[in-house]
């Protein structure tokens, strides 16, 4: 509930392979939106072993071309008033995350 309240996207992989794949998507999502991205870790999967594919071309993040980011970007900068952070979060960052997910 706290992650939702803070506007932090949660990735929920269900296999060891998905931990690797979602990790790359989490990095791309964070860089695109300026949001922190979390990953749910389930003990049964995290403490298991599996055969995984390690291939740099396996995951190809696609940056949305149908969403327009503000000209000054979405990342926090210094000095950045709280209200300016809130405007960016409510008007851009969450919608950018939805566009990336689509």
- Full-model pTM: 0.89
Measured in whole angstroms, how far is the alpha carbon of residue 46 from the centre of its chain?
20
Q: Residue 30: pLDDT band by 50, 70, 90 thresholds?
A: very high
Distances (CA, A) of 60 to 27, 98, 100: 12, 17, 12
How many Å apart are CA 102 and CA 99, to the nearest integer?
A: 5
Q: Residue 76: pLDDT band by 50, 70, 90 thresholds?
A: confident
Q: Residue 77: pLDDT band by 50, 70, 90 thresholds?
A: confident
């Amino acid at each position: 509930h706290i992650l939702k309240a803070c506007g932090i996207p949660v990735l929920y992989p269900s296999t060891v392979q998905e931990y690797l794949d979602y990790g790359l998507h989490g990095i791309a999502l964070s860089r695109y939106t300026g949001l922190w991205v979390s990953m749910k870790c389930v003990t049964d999967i995290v403490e298991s072993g599996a055969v995984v594919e390690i291939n740099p071309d396996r995951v190809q993040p696609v940056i949305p071309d149908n969403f327009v980011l503000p000209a000054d970007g979405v990342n926090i900068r210094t000095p950045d008033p709280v209200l300016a952070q809130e405007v960016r979060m409510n008007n851009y960052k969450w919608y950018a995350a939805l566009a990336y997910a689509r």
